[in-house]
Amino acid sequence: MEKISVGSVDINLNFEPQVSKKNRPFRLSGIELLQDKKLFIDGVLKHGTIYTFKYLDVYDEFFSFEFSPSDKFIRAIITESVNRFK
**Rounded to whole angstroms, how far apart are CA atoms 49 and 60?**
22
pTM of the model: 0.86
pLDDT greater than 70 at residue 86 = no
Query: Three-class SS string for 20-49?
Result: CCCCCEEEEEEEEEEEEEEEEECCEEEEEE
Listed by start position, the domains of the chain span: 3-79
Query: Which pLDDT does position 82 carry in this prediction?
Result: 53
> How is 43-69 classified by DSSP, letter by letter?
TEEEEEEEEEEEESSSSS-EEEEEE-T
pLDDT tens for each residue of 57-71: 987 889 999 999 999
